[in-house]
Chain A
Amino acid sequence: MPLYEGYTSDKNVVIFDFGAAYTKCGVAGEMCPRCIIPSQLKDQKTGKIKQIWEYNTEDELYENLKDFLFILYFRHILINPKDRRMVVCESLLCPEIFRETLAKVMFKHYEVGSVLFSPGHLTAMLTLGTNTGLVMDVGYNETLVIPIYEGIPVIKALQSLPVASKAIHQRMKEMLLSNGKVKTGNEEYSLSDKPELLTEEILEDIKVRCCFTTKWDRAKKIHDVTLYGADISNLPSPPPSVHYPLDGGSILVIDGTIREQVCEVMFEQDNEQVSVTTLLLDAIIQSPIDMRVELSQNIVILGGTALLPGFLHRIQMELLDLIKQPRYSNVLALKKFRYHQAPAKSNYTSWLGGSMIGSLETLPSKSVSRDQYTESGKLSDWCNLATVGQS
């Protein structure tokens, strides 16, 4: 039994982080989530899988969240929701409708006692024991970078780019459809003849088991060819291909170039010269001058996509290279960067911070109680991050 559980004032506080792809859920004061499960539901009638974030109306979202929370509470956490406290680590970009609908489900349907909504970027800082950092979250839908200075998010410096794991899966699909081959016995055909074979699960599995973020020197050669039209002979020799088994005895041949190149979608600087790496520097530039050095020495990287082999090293190499280029060296006098390593895997670091907040005696005074919610009928009066951050 972990030592510190004795400090938890209330062992029934449930901590949630509803990610676009994965939801992390567990109990306050514990060191890791009890479960990390896909943020999806199976339709009872049709058996179809549905993402909880997929909704057309508020009612649909309400039903999604109601059903999803049911599974979390009664299948995974096994704690009664009624009158109990909960903490939600949310993205800074979390749409208001999501938060309001979640609050409605929590308070009205499950009758929870109180809810604390806390931005995941901030809670992640708690796991480090510091309050200043340049926080990057590379999740499923997007990459978000926000400086936090002495505990306050510098909202005006927030940077985001819609590339993360979803874009990697998309890129992989394009590459596989253009040159992927399937072998069944002695037969061989193009994957593009049967594109339905490539489900999101398979794409993710290929990414997780076969792909990596390549080294910076190789990536430069790859970009020369894929982005700037250099001759294909300039490509570094690719890693070995992989024979990936599909259902029904077929084999999908995944070329080494796919293994090496799919992650490049995050690092290719588009027309505006933005990539996940430049977001870090751009966020520093957008921050007040007196914060910049400190931010550069306290980079924090969150999100499951950062767990891909080679990702962190690549960021490190690119930052050192970019900072020498005129567009940055002219404005930033930085030479090196330092990175935090949270006592957690990067996909649940925010959750761990939530677990810490949730175990403190002061939780009740920071949360919105059911009575307060019932009185005002909505949440927005209680937590409005935008107003706080703008200073």
Chain B
Amino acid sequence: MAGTLSLPDSEVVQYLCACKKWNSIYRLYICRRCFKIRCGDCVLHEVDSPYCPNCLENMPSAEAKLKKNRCTNCFDCPSCGHTLTTRATSQMIPNPDDPGKSTPKKMYYLACGFCRWTTRDVAIPDKPIASGAWEDMENPDAARISTLLEHYQLLAQKEKVEKERKKYSRRRSHLMYAASMDKYGLVSVAAKRKGLISAGPNPTIKENEEINIKTIKEAVTVEEFPPLPDEIFTEPIQLTKKTSISQRLAMSEFQPSEAVELYPRRKHLLIRRSLRCKECEHNLSKPEFNPLSIKFKIQLIALLYIPEIRVVPPGELKYKKDTKIVLTFSNPVNTNTKIQFIQAEGNEGEKVTAKIELPKKELVLAHRDVPAMYADMPAQQDFKDDSSVVSFRKANKLGIIFKVTPLVQEGDVKVCFVLKHDYLNTAATLPSENEEPEIVWLEHRVTVNLGPVTSSK
């Protein structure tokens, strides 16, 4: 059948974004300061309000940073990744007053409701308190890493001091790469040999700048690595006792190969993102602080401000044959919107395959009116629609007739035009002021894919 639209709705009508990318209206934002359409690529994404997806607790950004974006209360199963729950049990412990007797005591452990993993499986002792007792494992190399880091930090400080003192003005050159290692014990010998980098650091230091750098303990090297255990050739392996690569990498410091070495993982926080216009830094989307809320304090999605266009499936579209088609325009705002059409000039990367004749007169889209959308009644206002241009009117929707002439014998029929509409800028005026809101005219370049041309055979 001719005119069947096989593309998903979101790809039939595309709007040109301010950054020159074509996008569906469902993925666009509009900046109310510079009145430009913005897409995901030309807005600034920002990390906003970290929260735990399990306990829904918000964490201030500074604290989240300190906690490495992990919740202090919730844990994930190291085996399957689901959330662990705290289970209470009663244990008999020797009575401190009467060593001959034992008394029950409440103890806690963590268990996975999904894969049944528990902290007991891996011999982690139960804890006497329900939360806060699960410490992180310590990196066995922490001391060495800290020593090295301290050492490099001192060297870097020293270098900085000397540089400032000498007003080091060596031009940056391609040698910078070598210099990036310079003086962290990775001195650029080759460059030095070539005489390209000034000889080593000057040992004299500012009188008040006693930077004393002790040499650090040399790295220990080994001559041998442990061989494979002999059992590997004789004992069958139990797959379930071996960790998978993702289980290992999720504990990057330890990467245990045996399942008994798995350890509960603190739950990773999520964030809500806020969006800003890259040009004027105005907020385009800002989530509510409350993680339970799906509301946004600010949410300037284009669909709420720009008329949405849909295609009424056309009949036959034949090569070089003038055909009337209908596009529906829906008004998203609560005021009437005037619209005009302009032929698209030049080319912005669209592939046009048909000529389109546009209505010359200005048309009005009725305001969005919630009850009227349900009551299937004709709009109350009288727009004196010209039936040669308007195919139908229903609440805030208007079916507009266009004349299209396909210029290709095969492939999709695509047209391009500029939609111009007025827009009441309520954002610019404060409600307290008794000023009339400013009216601006916005123009959007739009392409519409009307589906494949009907073959002439």
A-side residues, CB < 8 A to B, are 1-4, 7, 11, 22, 24, 27, 29-37, 66, 70, 73-80, 82, 109, 111, 116-118, 122, 125-131, 148-152, 204-205, 208-210, 212-215, 236-240, 242-245, 260, 297-298, 307, 309-310, 312-313, 315-316, 336-341, 343-345, 347-348, 352, 356-357, 359-362, 365-366, 381-385, 387-389, 391
Contacts and interface: CB of A to CB of B under 8 A. Distances in A.
A205 B160 contact: no
B60 to A, nearest CB: 13
Interface in B199-256: 216-228, 232-237, 239, 242-245, 248-249, 252-253, 255
Nearest to A207: B245
Contacts of B225: 312-313, 315-316, 339
Interface in B154-184: 156-157, 159-160, 163, 172, 174-182, 184
A224 B268 CA distance: 51
Contact of B227 (A34, A313, A336): A313
Residue among A7, A33, A78, A212 with most chain B CB within 10 A: A78
Given A128-B219, A151-B182, A313-B225, 18 more contacts: A1-B66, A35-B252, A111-B44, A126-B148, A129-B151, A129-B217, A150-B186, A151-B185, A310-B228, A336-B223, A339-B221, A345-B253, A345-B255, A357-B184, A361-B153, A366-B180, A384-B177, A391-B194
B189 A4 contact: no
B338 interface: no
Given A31-B145, A356-B152, A388 B226 contact: no
Contact of A338 (B185, B223, B252): B223
Given A240-B237, A366-B179, A208 B187 contact: no
Contact of B269 (A33, A78, A125): A78
A239 B160 contact: no
7 contacts: A1-B66, A30-B68, A75-B270, A150-B189, A214-B228, A310-B228, A388-B175
Contact of B145 (A125, A130, A352): A352
Contact of B176 (A111, A310, A382): A382
A257 to B, nearest CB: 12
Residue from B159, B189, B245, B270 having most chain A Cβ neighbours under 10 A: B245
Contacts of A383: 174, 176-177
B222 A341 contact: yes
B123 interface: no
A260 B233 CA distance: 9
A22 B249 contact: yes
A348 B252 CA distance: 8
Nearest to B161: A361
A78 B139 contact: no
Contacts of B220: 341
B87 interface: no
Contacts of A215: 227-228
Contact of A109 (B41, B219, B228): B41
A208 B249 CA distance: 12
B244 A388 contact: no
A135 to B, nearest CB: 12
Contacts of A212: 228, 232
B178 A388 contact: yes
Name the interface size band of chain B.
Answer: 35 or more
B190 A239 contact: no
Contacts, number: 234
A82 B44 contact: yes
B249 A152 contact: no
B46 interface: yes
B36 interface: no
A339 B225 CA distance: 9
A129 B41 contact: no
Q: Which of A131, A260, A389 has the most CB of B within 10 A?
A: A131
Contact of B221 (A4, A297, A309): A297
Given A209-B242, A361-B157, A126 B184 contact: yes
A366 B50 contact: no
A-B pairs with the 10 shortest C-beta distances?
A151-B186, A343-B141, A391-B190, A312-B225, A338-B221, A360-B156, A209-B242, A240-B236, A366-B180, A32-B253
Contacts of B321: none
B239 A36 contact: no
Contacts of B360: none
Given A242-B237, A339-B225, A129 B146 contact: no
Interface string B269-281: 1110100000000
Contacts of A76: 268
Contact of A3 (B146, B174, B268): B146
A125 B65 CA distance: 28
B157 A122 contact: no
Contacts of A130: 185, 218-219
B149 interface: yes
B146 A2 contact: yes
Contacts of B185: 126, 129-131, 151
A117 B258 CA distance: 36
Contacts of B180: 116, 118, 357, 366
B425 interface: no
Contacts of B249: 22, 36-37
A381 B174 contact: yes
B176 A32 contact: no
